[in-house]
Amino acid sequence: MDKDSEILRRALQRMPAPEPRPEFVDRAFAKATGQARPRGRLAHLVSRWETWTGAVVGAAVAVLFTLFLLRPPGSSPADITLALNETRAIDVLIDSERALEDATIRIVATGSVALEGFEEEREIDWQTHLAPGNNVLSLPVVARSTGAGQLVAVIEHGGRTRRVTVRLNVLDSQTS
């Protein structure tokens, strides 16, 4: 042994040893004599904080996914707000799986809104061709009174009906 190693060894012997954790001696003897119960994989997994964090995150994702799936088809995720007497083009998205020849589209304006140029009519319809994929109807909407309103697009083709609803809210520009 060289001189530096000897100095280090003596210095380490003079250092105080830390106290063992409670029950350390009992656990060490139990393990040495084979009396210790092996900890199962499930018990180890359940005792980890990562397991519970993952479970919480997974549950949150499952709830959000379920809410997304349970939302009625064609429902609008948010209201559109208009000022009283405002005219605005409101886009309505119609997603078609395939081309629809001679589809009937019916637009119903309810509540506080009307279609510009059709203020006295609450419902208009026409026949058209819808291409496969996204079809956008840009509808000129007039805010006639304060309160809630809706634009409902009803698409009919081959005995099948689909609805797309856009919720609208009209506020008095004087009070906002």
**pLDDT the model gives residue 76:** 45
Task: Please give the Cα distance from 111 to 146 (Å, whole number).
Answer: 9
Task: Please give the Cα distance from 106 to 124 (Å, whole number).
Answer: 6
pLDDT tens sequence for the chain (176 residues) = 688 888 888 888 888 877 878 888 888 887 788 765 656 777 767 777 788 888 888 888 888 777 766 655 544 445 789 999 999 999 988 888 899 999 999 999 999 999 999 888 889 999 999 999 999 989 999 999 999 999 999 999 999 999 989 999 999 876 54
Residue 7 token pair: 């100095």
Q: How, if at all, do strands 80-83 and 160-171 pair?
A: parallel
Question: Where do the domains of the chain lie, and which CATH numbers do they carry?
Answer: 3-70 (no CATH), 80-171 (2.60.40.10)
**pLDDT the model gives residue 156:** 93
Per the document, the length of the chain is 176
Q: What share of the chain is helix, strand, coil (3-state, %, to 5)?
A: 30, 40, 30
